[in-house]
Amino acid sequence: MIDFSHIRGVILDMDGVIWRGSEILPGVPDFFRWLDAYSIPYVFATNNSTRTPEMYAERISGLGIKVEISQIITSPLVTARFLRDQYPNASKAYVVGQEGIYAALRGVGLEIVEDVQADFVVVGLDRTLTYAKLQAACYQIQRGALFVGTNGDVTLPEPDGYIPGAGSILALLQTATKQPPLIMGKPEKPMFEYALGVLGTAPAATLMVGDRVETDIWGAKRAGLSSALVLSGVTDAGDFGEYQPDAIYQDLVDLQNHWLT
């Protein structure tokens, strides 16, 4: 159970929580108007590495939800800030990924390189992936570049089934180089630490709302947050073992109704 009287901030996943593909899920945007009315701050946190915070802010604003760019936390953004903070003297990155990664790395002053030695190899979902990209990444890692993954999601849901996610690309490179990647996104702590910093709340006073037990719920548990699983995304009700959420709701409407009782 969740003691909502102690909650002072909320972290929410997006896909499966506020939308599912092009479908807007029940309770949106009423849930966020209610949070605003009670001055409960919230941020959105996604493992998706292909889009920029600006892209997400535009879509969320289009739903009638008031949102600032600072409230959008993506795995590339967390990755970029981590690398800049932890390796201030390194400047070059080789990328296997899409626009979200390129924008985040350049945003903290990192240079994207192709044919020179990189300090980092940053890998996310890449729908334009080629063997040449994988080959170059392998060479960079073997020559000493730090191997970093924006997130470890092995698959992504599509209307016709599941397709390879960033985690599948990471697994291939790890097999080829025998080097494990440093993962930034959920369920790892860097994303939760970043979100807590934006909210300005303590872990025990923060609620994570998500639809994936292995990322949203497990990550919240590891970071000391309360967790609410919504069944409006990819997960059905069941026994989740060590990934057990603090509470399960059908959607944001159900969550809000329980919060009010």
Mean pLDDT of 85-102: 97
CATH architecture observed for domain 4-47+186-260:
3-Layer(aba) Sandwich (3.40)
* 112-144 pLDDT tens trace: 999 999 999 999 999 999 999 999 999 999 999
Whole-angstrom CA distances from 31 to 1, 132, 241, 254, 255 are 20, 46, 29, 10, 9
Contacts with 187 (C-beta within 8 Å, 6 or more apart), sequence order: 214, 215, 216, 218, 219, 222
The reply to whether the predicted model has a pTM over 0.85 is yes
85 an active-site residue?
no
The class of domain 86-183 in CATH terms is: alpha beta
Position 35: which residue type? L
13 an active-site residue?
yes
Domain boundaries defined on the chain: 4-47+186-260, 86-183
Question: Looking at residue 256, what is its pLDDT?
Answer: 97
Candidate list 13, 211, 216, 251, residue with the active-site label: 13
* 183-221 pLDDT tens trace: 999 999 999 999 999 999 999 999 999 999 999 999 999
